[in-house]
Amino acid sequence: MVTFIGGIVLLILGYFIYGAYIDRTFEPATDRETPAEVLRDNLDFVPMPRWKNAIIELLNIAGTGPIFGPIMGALYGPVAYIWIVFGCIFAGGVHDYMLGMVSLRNNGDQLPSLAGKYIGKVARHLVNLFACLLLLLVGTVFVTSPANLIQQALPFGSNLQVIIVLIFIYYLVSTVLPIDKAIGKVYPWFGAILILSTIAIGVTLIFSDFTIPNLTPATMQNFHPKGLAIFPGMFFTISCGAMSGFHATQAPMVSRTITNEREGRFTFYGMMIGEGIIAMIWAAAAMSLFDGQTLSDMIDAGTASVVVDAVSKMLLGNVFGTIAILGVIVLPISSGLSAFRSLRIIIADYLNIKQDTLAKIMAITLPVYVISFILTKVDFNILWRYFNWANQVTAVLALLVTTRYLFLKSKNYWVTFIPGIFMLYACVVYIFSEPIGLGLGLGVISYIGGLIVTGILVAVYWYQGVHQKESLDPQAKLLHDEWPILTRDPDLAK
């Protein structure tokens, strides 16, 4: 229990200490107008209050990631706490904040556009491919996972396909509505359910008779019943609970509704810390209520949704446990909706299709949903595996974009570069070792080969950045992220 409570305390301190440092590094300006004000279109660019932006960001990034991921990460044992806590503070929170703020400075641009601006045209096409693939997988995963939870929560028999179709209908209607109507009206209620249910699970766990495992020298080892290696496996399993590229597709959407840059730390960094606390609670619950083999068998028998159902009812009873499951269900439904909405925006921006009529919106939305519905026929665990890899590759690309931004602005770029290099190496080793890639297995070849490939990619990236900075004249460096200038000061706008 000491490790569990201490981890949550560290996450909160991380927000006030390291989060404040990251905020000072970026230097938000209160005198700049935001895209929500200058580019308002009453569809995607709509000013909304800080508390609502924060709730939307939390629900957008959460999904089942900080629940399903930590539950599966609990198979590794208490060592999972380390990645959740330090990953959130030094990687995930920085990733979300920096990408959200860079988007805010660039008229709410999505990740592919930012990659094109700061890394190059080739990067724009590459990032667009990965972002679309990721969002399609996320949207599909966040259709099937809540559908499974709903089916298990209903007291009577239900058809899974019917539930899936109903979720798609909800997504379709919400995707084409203005963001303040589709998301702004519903998410505060979803957020209340999520927060109350999470608190209920955490508090009940602390005061229950179950023993919450601590991280000690004896428990700092790999407890995975199948012997899967901690690196890189755990860093992909616990993705949304520590760092997730999916967040890089969500932060720009919220950057289009923010009215002051000072909101950034609370909205982007703070909500990632909130997600870390959710991850800590579910990882601790999974480790406390089940041994590793039982937990593994439950996941193999279905998905992590089986564990969610069991944990909720064991800790809170059938009635309140079902209510808690509703809190879990709203996460993937909200994130699935935001995933499809982001996918529509990214495709529209990439193809330069202005979203000003229903026909143009539906021309992009309907084909996406058809493809996603087909993917729901694929085994969930296979989808999750591909999602995890595409997710972390996207996170690396987002960190490289923000690193280049900070480098060009002569700011401390190491805060994004270090976690970016670490996760780049993990991604390369993963694709070398896992069946979805070369399938070489974990060994000397995968680890050394990963180092070589990572070193080459970093060298090319560094050389390109230095050349890019040297080619900019002083005025271009000043305005690199400030065109058009959005400021409340009319003298500065001239």
pLDDT at 484: 45
User: Which residue in 343, 331, 330 sits closest to 371, CA to CA?
Assistant: 343
In angstroms, what CA-CA distances link 422 with 170, 242, 378?
Answer: 39, 14, 31
Q: What is the CATH number of domain 2-415?
A: 1.20.1740.10
pLDDT at 494: 32
Q: Which positions ≥6 away from 400 have C-beta within 8 Å? A: 119, 420, 461
DSSP character at residue 74? G
Domain segments of the chain as ranges? 2-415
Cα(295)–Cα(276) distance, rounded to whole angstroms? 21
HSE, CB side, 13 Å, CA atoms: give it for residue 365: 23
Q: Look-up: residue for tokens 């996972």?
A: 145
pLDDT at 475: 55
pLDDT at 454: 97
CB 215 within 8 A of CB 290: no
The answer to whether the pTM exceeds 0.85 is: yes
Cα(101)–Cα(26) distance, rounded to whole angstroms? 8
Give all strands (DSSP E) within 300-348, no chain letters.
Answer: none
Cα(12)–Cα(273) distance, rounded to whole angstroms? 7
User: Which residue in 306, 54, 13 sits closest to 183, CA to CA?
Assistant: 54
State the chain's maximal CA–CA distance in angstroms: 68
HSE, CB side, 13 Å, CA atoms: give it for residue 65: 35
pLDDT at 294: 94
pLDDT at 95: 98
User: Which residue in 394, 427, 451 sits closest to 252, CA to CA?
Assistant: 394
pLDDT at 285: 96
pLDDT along the chain (494 residues), means of 10: 96 98 95 92 91 89 77 95 97 97 94 91 85 85 80 72 88 78 74 82 94 93 91 88 89 94 97 95 95 91 79 87 76 78 88 87 91 84 74 93 95 97 95 77 89 96 93 58 47 37
Q: Which positions ≥6 away from 365 have C-beta within 8 Å? A: 172, 175, 176, 340, 344
Cα(330)–Cα(195) distance, rounded to whole angstroms? 11
Q: Which positions ≥6 away from 356 have C-beta within 8 Å? A: 41, 43
Give all strands (DSSP E) within 159-281, no chain letters.
Answer: none
In angstroms, what CA-CA distances link 370 with 116, 165, 377, 381?
Answer: 29, 11, 12, 21
